Amino acid sequence: MSGVTAVPLDNQIADRLLRAMYRRSGAWLLDQLGLVSAQSRGLSGYGPVNDGIAFAVNPQFEPLIGNQSVVVGGACLTNCDARLERLRTEFVVDTVQPLLLAAWARVPCMLFLPIGEEIIISNSSITVDAWRRFGDQVEAFVNSIAASIPGGHPPILIRTDSDTVSATLDTAVEAVSNLITATELADLYAIRPSSSGQTPPSAARLRQYRRSIVTYMPSVVAELLGCRDVQRVVVAENLHQAKAVRTARSVSAAIGSHSRIDHLAHVPAPSVTGSSRMARAEDRSVLFCLDTEGVRAEKLQRITPTVRRYWESAWRRALRPDGTAMHGDPLKAVFDEWRQLLVQVADPQRLEAPSDSTVSEGAT
């Protein structure tokens, strides 16, 4: 992989990004979500915490110890429509973070690939077969990303479009559905009040929410692993998933589980201008993995210094320096590497250029 020298993202820069995306300070967000700073939590030797990318944990978080611990993650497939050319770079950064944590702590990493959830909520014009072909390619891409992590190991990939996995999730949801209030579920991804009000989630979206919650529960993780004892799940997902993780923790305690669910949250990927999360941005402010060199160059010209710092910090721990990017724009070289990884697993006949249309707002 390309060599990159980057300045770490410090807490001040992280707060600036959060203020731009959420219109609230980092301190307000942590208080609202029941999180605290990740500093001085036994993570001082962990690169992404030192870099300021992974910045928040639940108050009960303790130093990560192996044995019966599992790192869990799962990147959203925001508005992909089963098309690789619509896969966003936020998918990569949200995939890299749990891989890095598991490699550092030397514990297993379970990554959920939410193809099943996309089938549930997507337009019916996209066939199940199309989603599964897409899932095969994204699965290969994730394995390629994992192979780029120094000291890492292949993740345990859980495809939620698998009949067995889907049945396991639905059974778990049925067992705990009475423990999750309607209000709690509807507000699961509402981090701050909206001046225009929130559109109530559809029945399909609520099913997706419930399935997401149970993926964090140690009992479900143990069942999917085929083992009896998972004492601790450490969720390594972005800040926007904090309420879902917190709900899983309360549900797990309510059913008498003594296992732990912890959360190490990282800064969500920003749009090109940094004014919103990439998950909610219009296409012109999104960095797609398969953007052509010209399209990406135009977007990189528009990114702010703060957003550039984010991407450089987000990538820097996931690279094997080999001296190939000593000249020119190191950030361009990094995006070129990820693009090449995806091209290697892509079916050229199915690729199209990303459109300039506005992306509809999802629930991620």
Q: What's the CA gap between 65 and 363, in Å, rounded? A: 33
CATH class of the domain comprising 11-350: alpha beta
Does the structure show a pLDDT above 70 at 109? yes
Q: Where are the domains of the chain?
A: 11-350
Q: What's the CA gap between 285 and 248, in Å, rounded? A: 33
> Distance of alpha carbon 185 from its chain centroid, rounded?
20
Q: What's the CA gap between 327 and 199, in Å, rounded? A: 48
Residue 7 pLDDT grade (very low, low, confident, very high; cuts 50, 70, 90): very low
Residue with token string 């044995």? 67
What digits encode the pLDDT tens for the residues 59-91?
999 887 667 899 999 999 989 999 999 999 999
Mean pLDDT of 216-245: 94
Q: How far apart are the first and last CA of the chain?
A: 30
Q: What's the CA gap between 126 and 156, in Å, rounded? A: 27
Mean pLDDT of 259-271: 96
Q: What's the CA gap between 53 and 39, in Å, rounded? A: 12
What digits encode the pLDDT tens for the residues 44-54?
889 899 888 99
pLDDT of amino acid 3:
39
pLDDT of amino acid 329:
78
Q: What is the DSSP letter of 262?
A: E
Which tokens go with 126? 């996209």
How many residues are recorded in the chain? 364
Q: What is the pTM of this model?
A: 0.90
Q: Which of 10-19, 22-31, 174-183 shows the lowest per-residue confidence on average (mean pLDDT)?
A: 10-19
Does the structure show a pLDDT above 50 at 361? no
Work out whether strand 156-159 and strand 109-113 pair parallel, antiparallel, or are unpaired: parallel
Q: What's the CA gap between 232 and 58, in Å, rounded? A: 14
Does the structure show a pLDDT above 70 at 333? yes
